[in-house]
Amino acid sequence: MAGTESNGGATTSLLRAEGDRERPREPWKGEFVKSIVYAGLDAIVTCFSLISSISASTRSSGDVLVLGFANLVADGISMGFGDFVSSSTEKDVGVKERAVTEWDITHHAPAEQRDLLRQYQALGMDINDATMVVNIFAKYKDIMVDEKMVAQKGMLPPDEADKPWKHGLVTFVTFIVFGSAPLLSFIVLIPFTHNDTVKFVGACVLSALALALLGIAKAKIAGQNYTLSVAVTLFNGAIAAAAAYTLGSVLTKVAGLED
């Protein structure tokens, strides 16, 4: 009876200990996560840095709007097309690499199996277990090909459902949406003030809010600390904007363009 109670207590303690271990926060998975985060951050920082440099050169708010939106659309198209080309190239390389791996397994199966066996052993797997795993994979050619790509070449098999043009479109739209944030104050404040300094301060506030929102989204996606993610994102934007403003002010004085 005492032994039963002892076992029960041990089981309860074990379950309690397992329950105390907090499961790590799982990141949000999405097909366009990289495109959204990268394009959004680049858009805000690029557009606000441009506004900072223009404002430092004592140009009018009209110049800010014209140059800002022209630069925003041009950069958006460039970013979207760049993401499309990058995703297309990555997919094409994956397809080609899989074809090469499939040919090697078809024509040199024993040698490829030995290579995979050595790979598993290098990772710490027992020779008997590694042999059993390789023998099982050898029965299924497609699985063997995919496993070879991941284990030895560090490449995920290409996803046939992946559409590079979607990545390009998402990048373009994200860039335009987030990049418009710093410019909004120069439009929204038109009925209330003609003071360019006030509009620039508004652009700073809107840019900070957009960067904070992006930092929160990045933390949510990656399962990171919200405060740290927002702080890093704001710091990135502040450094870029300060550099652009300082450079614009210095070059204006050097070139003698001050009013």
Burial class for 102, CB neighbours closer than 10 Å (0-12, 13-18, 19+): middle
13, part of any domain: no
4, part of any domain: no
What residue numbers bound the domain in which 233 lies?
31-250
Handedness of CA 183, 184, 188, 193 (dihedral sign): negative
Looking at residues 73-83, what average pLDDT do you find?
91
195, part of any domain: yes
Looking at residues 251-256, what average pLDDT do you find?
70
123, part of any domain: yes
pLDDT 10s digits, 174-204: 999 988 888 888 888 877 878 878 888 888 8
Question: 7 with 204: CB under 8 angstroms?
Answer: no
257, part of any domain: no
The pLDDT score that the predictor gives to residue 1 is: 47
Instruction: Kindly indicate the confidence band of residue 107, based on its pLDDT and cuts at 50, 70 and 90.
Output: confident
- 230's tokens: 């927002």
- Tally of domains in the chain: 1
219, part of any domain: yes
Place of tokens 């070059």: 251
71, part of any domain: yes
How many residues appear in the chain? 259
20, part of any domain: no
The pLDDT score that the predictor gives to residue 2 is: 46
